[in-house]
Amino acid sequence: MTKRKFLNIINKQRILIAIIILVIYLGLSSENFVSYGNTVNILMQISINGIIAISMTILLLQGEIDLSVGYNMSLVGTVIILLQGYGLGLAVVCGMLTGILVGVINGLIVTKLKLDSLPVTLGMMVVLNGMVLWLTKTKTIRGTVDSFLFLGNETFYSVPYPVMIFIIILLIFILIIRRTLFGRNIYAIGGNKIASRFFGINVDRTRFISFVITGFLVSISGVILASRLNIASPNLGKDTPLFVITAILLGGTSLWGGKGGLVSTFQGILLFGIISNGLRLTQVPVTWHLLIKGFLLILIVSIDGYYVKRAKFR
């Protein structure tokens, strides 16, 4: 293998290498890190954000974004907790319909009114926050039905349900992205929107479907979140967009569309999960976490931007 080829591989797999280095470092410095319990713990922590990251990747690949995911998840959870008394099935269905409806509204506004998805979903984020505050009356509400807790807290052959759901959804969407027309169209739109329209791709429909998928996946993570914590609170989901976008960019998916994929997103979210876990295990004070994660986001988008800029000038 020549030197150049070797460097090329390193450059392409830099996330994987970062994960390996981090795992070795944490494994040496903290005795609790390498254990079955902690591994499951990390997977458990990334599964809720991971499911959202799948849908966000689909949006980012087309150059769209959805900042309302966090409060949408929170709203779904709130609806479920509040309706629990009327029957668990009804509550879950209503909650998921709410989440999907938000996705539909986002999609309709972006495609029919032809607005930028960033400010629209920013506004939607504030609206949803208001609705959660209204539903919870700004208080934390505890769930009453204990049978609902199994989904978030129990295990199937010692694999927690959330992790299983996350892995299954991830595999399904990897297949969809790689093997279907819809997946092809997503990359085409991200590469060049106008050209894809001229090639007969229904750009608006693909974008609309992506927003609906986002609503659907967000509502699944809302169900898991509600089941895991068994509370509805206006503070849930506040930092979700930041974490999800950071993780996706960390994986190497570009903000500008057309570059990246779900495998890189999985790597990114795994790396992000390991970093969060490592911060906790090495006893970095909680007050530092937000600072470190925000700085990470800026650092990564800078590197991403640097590569884009360099590629342009070549």
> Exposed, middle or buried: residue 148 (CB in 10 Å: 0-12, 13-18, 19+)?
buried
Q: Smallest distance from the beta carbon of 241 to other proteins, in angstroms?
A: 8
Of 73 and 170, nearer to other proteins (C-beta) is 73
Of 99 and 257, nearer to other proteins (C-beta) is 257
Q: Smallest distance from the beta carbon of 70 to other proteins, in angstroms?
A: 12
Q: How many CB atoms lie within 10 A of CB 34?
A: 13
Of 197 and 289, nearer to other proteins (C-beta) is 289
Distances (CA, A) of 45 to 5, 51, 202, 296: 36, 11, 37, 19
Of 23 and 303, nearer to other proteins (C-beta) is 303
Q: Smallest distance from the beta carbon of 305 to other proteins, in angstroms?
A: 3
Q: Smallest distance from the beta carbon of 2 to other proteins, in angstroms?
A: 31
Q: Smallest distance from the beta carbon of 147 to other proteins, in angstroms?
A: 30
Q: How far is CA 108 from the centre of its chain?
A: 21
Of 117 and 227, nearer to other proteins (C-beta) is 117
Q: Smallest distance from the beta carbon of 285 to other proteins, in angstroms?
A: 8
- Closest C-alpha to 249, from 8, 15, 72, 18: 15
Q: How many CB atoms lie within 10 A of CB 147?
A: 8
Of 47 and 68, nearer to other proteins (C-beta) is 68
Q: Smallest distance from the beta carbon of 152 to other proteins, in angstroms?
A: 26
Of 128 and 189, nearer to other proteins (C-beta) is 128
Report the interface residues with other proteins, using CB under 8 A: 109, 113-116, 118-120, 122-131, 133-135, 137-138, 239, 241-242, 245-246, 255, 285, 287-298, 301-306, 308-309
